[in-house]
Amino acid sequence: MRFNLNCKETSRLLSQGQDARLGLTERIALRLHLRVCDACTHFSAQLQFLRQAMQSWPGPEENPPE
């Protein structure tokens, strides 16, 4: 595997990293890419936020009127 990932490859690896521990090479490659890429850094934060949002989701039945 190469160290220079493009954004497309990075987005896939970041998603996979949400489900399994990535290999050392992949983790290093990700870190190198994220250091220079704002877009993927935002994407990475958004994946973590999505997880947080799904865990805070009250479920479809509960939409209390405010």
Partner 1 sequence: MLQLRDESAAEDAVQETLMAAIQGASGFAGQSSVRTWLIGILKHKVIDHLRRISREKPLTVATRPVEETDISDFDALFVADGHWAEAPCAWSNPDQSLQQSRFFEALERCLKGLPDATARAFMMREVMGIETDEICKELRISASNCWVMLYRARMSLRLCLEQTWFQGERE
> 27 Cβ partners below 8 Å, 6+ apart?
17
Residue 25 or 52 having the CB closest to partner 1: 52
Residue 38 or 61 having the CB closest to Zn ion: 38
Binding-site member from 1, 3, 7, 53 for Zn ion (CB under 5 A): 7
In whole angstroms, give the CA distance from residue 33 to residue 39: 10
Residue 31 or 55 having the CB closest to Zn ion: 31
Would you say 9 and 40 are in contact if contact means Cβ atoms under 8 Å apart?
no
- CB 10, min distance to Zn ion, A: 5
